[in-house]
Amino acid sequence: MTRSRLLLIAQAWFLLLIVGSLQPARPGPVHGLHRELHWLAFAVAAWLLFALSRSRRQAIGSALAVFGLGLGLEFLQHLIYRNPLEWWDVRDDTLAVLVAFAVYQFTLAQKRAPGG
C-alpha cells in the first residue's frame, strides 16, 4: 500500500473516530460494545500512525498523540454534554494504544530478523 493511500485511510479513520465520539446519542448496539469499540478505534488509530512513522521516536510520538486525542475527546464530551469524565474510557484507549505499540514493534522486529 502506498504511503499516500495509507495517509488517506488514516485521515478518514480519525475523522470517523472524532465525529463518532462526539455524537450526542449512541445506538443500542454501541452501548453494549462500548469498551470493545474504544479498544478497536484507538488501536487502529495508533496502528495507522505507527505505519506512517519513519522511526521509533515518531511512533512513540504517535502513541502520545493518540492518547492525547482520547483524553481530549473525553474532556470535550464532559464539556459539551455535562457528562462525568469517563476515566475508564481513557484507560481503555491508553491500553489499546500500548498494546498496538507492542504488537507493532514486535512485527517490525520479526520482519528484521533473519528469515523474517
The pLDDT, as a whole number, for residue 46 is 98
Q: By the 8 A CB rule, do 48 and 6 touch?
A: yes
Residue-range definition of the domain harbouring residue 51 = 3-112
Domains in the chain, number = 1
Q: State the burial class of residue 68 (Cβ atoms within 10 Å of its Cβ: 0-12, 13-18, 19+).
A: exposed
Helix locations, 24-86, DSSP H: 28-32, 34-52, 56-81
The residue-averaged pLDDT of 5-12 equals: 98
Q: Which of 112, 110, 103, 87 is nearest to 46 (CA)?
A: 103
The pLDDT, as a whole number, for residue 116 is 61
Angle at CA of residue 19, ends 99 and 104, nearest 5°: 20
Give the span between the Cα atoms of 65 and 105, in whole angstroms: 17
Question: Would you say residue 2 has pLDDT above 80?
Answer: yes
Greater pLDDT, 1 or 73: 73
Give the span between the Cα atoms of 80 and 92, in whole angstroms: 21
The model's pLDDT over 46-102, given as tens digits with 9 standing for 90+, comes to 999 999 999 999 999 999 999 999 999 999 999 999 989 999 999 999 999 999 999
The model's pLDDT over 12-37, given as tens digits with 9 standing for 90+, comes to 999 999 999 999 877 777 778 989 99
